[in-house]
Amino acid sequence: TEVAKGASAMILLDDNFCSIVDAVHKGRVIYAGIQKFVTFIMSVHIAEILQIFICVLGGLPVMRTPLLILFLVLVTDLPPSIALGMEKGEPTLMKQMPRPKDEPVALGFMWFSMIFNGLNICIIIFILYVVALRHFCDGFILQADIEGIDDAQYKIE
């Protein structure tokens, strides 16, 4: 059977079948963590791309410089990856059927979640950005208008 072929390729340190079950459980926990991390990180990056795109098309000052993007990637990617790596896993993980080999890491419902969450993050941050621009840039939000005020270089950097 397929199970026997797969088990024959494993190297066992002992003759205990529980070692195989533990290894499969750990593999499923790791795979579920990867799926959760990809969903989270894609939501954040979709929001960042949309924010920059809206700023460029709308004539607003771009809210993120390349250096700030690198800093945000370090700050927002590392802690969740560590947290998801330490997760114990769902209690029903071993009751699930094995996934097909050709199944993608990000499933359809995950893509919906990534886009929906990315849009929500983008809208909230963009509203806060416009409010901050109006407050700190003498009521202006467009790049061309802001450049005309005193000390403009300090207000948008």
- The per-residue pLDDT for range 114-144, each reduced to its tens digit, is 999 999 999 999 999 999 988 888 888 888 7
In whole angstroms, give the CA distance from residue 157 to residue 151: 11
155: pLDDT strictly greater than 60: no
**Above pLDDT 70, what percent of the chain?**
86
In whole angstroms, give the CA distance from residue 94 to residue 32: 12
Q: How far is CA 29 from CA 43, 76, 80, 85, in A?
A: 21, 22, 15, 9
Count other C-beta atoms under 10 Å from residue 114's C-beta: 21
- Confidence band, pLDDT 50/70/90 cuts, at residue 6: low
- Confidence band, pLDDT 50/70/90 cuts, at residue 25: confident
